[in-house]
Structure 1
Amino acid sequence: MATAIRNTQVSDAEWEARQQLAACYRVFDMLGWSEMIYNHITLKVPGEDGAFLINPFGLHFSEVTASNLVKIDIDGNKLDDSPFPVNLAGFTQHAVFHRNLPDAHCIMHTHTTAGMAVSSVEGGLRPTNFYACNFAGQIAYHDFEGVTVRAEEGARLIDNLGDKRVMFLKNHGILVMGRTLPEAFIKHWSLQRACEIQVATASMGTPLEVPPEVVAVHQRDLFKVQIPGGAGKADFDAMVRLVDKVDTNWRN
């Protein structure tokens, strides 16, 4: 495990962000959302305009710790002395959203089997299950243009996203963002569940679509089942407690 001692020049706010992001990588791995050494979760550094944290390219999600996350600016320049490189595909995609969307504090992109499957069918996610109804009318779609390493694709990503904060990269996977990391986490978890159930339902016959008027009521009433603390906080905290039962090394 490549882990460093906390740099004394790191602010308390940055260290807290590093620990939260490292925990998230471990939660994703525990949930089976790792993809070898690929995919990314990025988080803005509080109080530092244009700086964000990303996973070190070459490490598995299960190896990410608070101290080995890489701090980069919006142009991809390292802002710390990390010995690890940054995946160009991760930087190119995430940086364009961090640069253009002030509310995109945390961005998550994965290649889960269910997420890629739903992104690869005509019509994408359909309102055929509880979780899918959460997202009806709230998902953007972006056509596959190959691996995301060309800066010029950024303008089309922003245009296609519009005012949405959840996107299916067609033939590619899931992209979600949130004003906080827990908010992005609960979006990703719910979207992943929606995709898993849609894939399972497709093998059983003709899915039943929920009428738009019922979807509207469902979305209106979702807030009634949230507990205080902000969207996703209790959910994320519960998953971190499960990770801690296995390994607390991510905190270093």
Structure 2
Amino acid sequence: MPAIHQAQDWPYEVPHTLYEAYIWPTHDVGGQPYAPQIFEEKEDEEWENNVYITCEVLGFRGMWNAEERRRRYANDIGLTLYYGFPYNARWIWGAAKMLVDKNYVSLLELQGKIAEIRERLGVNSNRRGHAPSNINHGDTTKIHTGTGKSPSSPGKYIDYGPTPPWEPTGEVQPARFKVGDRVRVKDLPAIFYTRTQMYVRNMTGTIAALTYPDLVPADEAWDRYDAPQEQYYIVRFQQKDLWAEYPFENDTLQSEYPDMWLEAAD
């Protein structure tokens, strides 16, 4: 599709008051630029008090210090989260991130606990198909498949010795599924890191192949190379099950998932 261009016949506005607000912030918001805001007199909510107590207890137990709590984990979270979350929400987000970063818990344990709470509160999503797509019978796409051989590759690699630093050492877990089994992809919380696409969550497919045992992505991302290795599977989905109004009956999509992301379909 060609790029869409729009003629511009007006200048960009950079009001002096806005510029001044960004270079001389009125408020202490973790060193971030911020325009003047109205002070809101508001009592703390119960969850905010619980967050404060939780963060204090983590400090008393030596899990993090004031610098980590107030800057690294509450401020250095990216502007999207920083401006999108209220003050105490940034703190509890930072507390969870700290527990994972320092290996007090694994990301999988955290995701599992959040999923358990969501289940108990009855707020887990229950997807039955997705938003209508814009695919029609006239759409065609030419796909060029690479050979995996880059002409610009020098062919030289770093010699890490007999054992690379990322070589997993954890116990290999047995496979729970076999080819032909019907499975459902879990809809676990996608906090901090996930490789599982949203459009397959809570969707049912068929095991097409067993590939290999390896670390799950969430453990590998945090260098937990001693974590258990799980069996990976190729799961085949009917595309008409994934996207509403998909026009072709026989088209399928295959994707790979570790054991912990799958459950037996009823």
Q: Say yes or no: TM over 0.5.
A: no
TM-score, normalised with respect to structure 1: 0.21
Is the helix fraction higher in 1 or 2?
1
TM-score, normalised with respect to structure 2: 0.20
Q: Higher RCO, 1 or 2 (CA under 8 Å, sep at least 6)?
A: 1
Whichever of the two has the greater Rg, that structure is 2
